[in-house]
Structure 1
């Protein structure tokens, strides 16, 4: 599952309170053009206690083994024989977010909301932003989009096109926050 970047992301909130992270996401979505709204999920799974409910919720999710075992859903392998695995499901309906978060438990995961675009940001000289780069990601039990830095807290990222990098701080300000880290290339 090699990912191709379609945006750059910048963190705007880090919190131990998952509901606070979800409230910030809701506020950001409140200013976005939500036509074609869908959600992508990724989780780093290390136990059948997490894997089983995720596969029940997302039966067509793709997965691949981390490390040298080489197992994957494309080969028809049993994921529980290849822990840890990365599980990914794309283009899911927004109502699956709550059940996904319940299923991942303490595992590092991301939820990425994908929609039509960001609003005009005249204060920073930007018109309406198109679908490319119009995402919000909640990294759960992780501080990065690649799930390489597990944590006990959660991070909200806003995405923008690289050429519109000033949109990220503008978006943060729209919800009463500021950027708290560098603009990074998003993994997918």
Structure 2
């Protein structure tokens, strides 16, 4: 799969309607090279009722206590004893997205689709984009990729290589949108 390197992300949609955000993600994925498609999840969990279904869905997820807590999956701790926690799961199948979204409640989370590449963008002078920087992220109940800014709405980000920054507005235009914020370095 793609090497772990930072991509750059730019928001193209912010909406209170999660189904609208999901439709935009689907439209972006429809133009991408989806070979090796995987999905990564990250969520900040404060409530036990959110934790249980997520642990059932993502039994091998890594987690660690937020704030000043010291509990973690690496230590074999019980996650419910260390709330709030941050939980991450990598390389999941796309079929896990809907159950993941259904389990979140109001917890801030990201769903990141990782795939082979973006299509050629001749209008902005770009060839086919490779795997590095080819992601779409849906931030649920959050405004930022690090899940620091909780929100009641959801944001879709397209990821590109920094040297191909003009691909982000081009991608937004392919789904009838425009960029709505700055290009920012994305976390791993």
Q: TM-score if structure 1 supplies the norm length?
A: 0.97
Distance in 1 separating the partners of 2:63 and 2:16:
28
Distance in 2 separating the partners of 1:119 and 1:177:
17
Q: Is the contact between residue 5 and residue 185 of structure 1 (CA under 8 Å) also seen in structure 2? A: no
**Unmatched tracts of structure 2, length 5 or more:** none
Describe how 1:15-164 pairs up with structure 2 within 5 A: 15-164=15-164
Instruction: Look up the SS of the partner of 1:97 in the other structure.
Output: helix
Distance in 1 separating the partners of 2:18 and 2:69:
33
Q: Is the contact between residue 31 and residue 119 of structure 2 (CA under 8 Å) also seen in structure 1? A: yes
Q: Is the contact between residue 44 and residue 87 of structure 2 (CA under 8 Å) also seen in structure 1? A: yes
Aligned residues: 185
Q: What is the aligned partner in structure 2 of residue 12 from structure 1?
A: 12
Distance in 1 separating the partners of 2:47 and 2:101:
16
Q: Deviations over 1:97-149 (max 9, x none)?
A: 00000111110000000000000011111110000000000000000000000
Question: Could you tell me how far 1:68 is from its partner in structure 2?
Answer: 1.2
Question: Could you tell me how far 1:180 is from its partner in structure 2?
Answer: 0.2
Question: Could you tell me how far 1:6 is from its partner in structure 2?
Answer: 2.3
Q: Is the contact between residue 107 and residue 141 of structure 2 (CA under 8 Å) also seen in structure 1? A: yes
Distance in 1 separating the partners of 2:94 and 2:69:
33
Deviates more, 1:63-72 or 1:95-104: 63-72
Question: Could you tell me how far 1:83 is from its partner in structure 2?
Answer: 1.2
Distance in 1 separating the partners of 2:29 and 2:176:
14
Superposition RMSD in Å: 0.8
**Unmatched tracts of structure 1, length 5 or more:** none
Question: Could you tell me how far 1:5 is from its partner in structure 2?
Answer: 4.6
Q: Is the contact between residue 5 and residue 132 of structure 2 (CA under 8 Å) also seen in structure 1? A: no
Distance in 2 separating the partners of 1:91 and 1:99:
16
Moved over 4 A (4+): none
Instruction: Look up the SS of the partner of 2:159 in the other structure.
Output: strand
Instruction: Look up the SS of the partner of 1:30 in the other structure.
Output: helix
Q: TM-score if structure 2 supplies the norm length?
A: 0.97
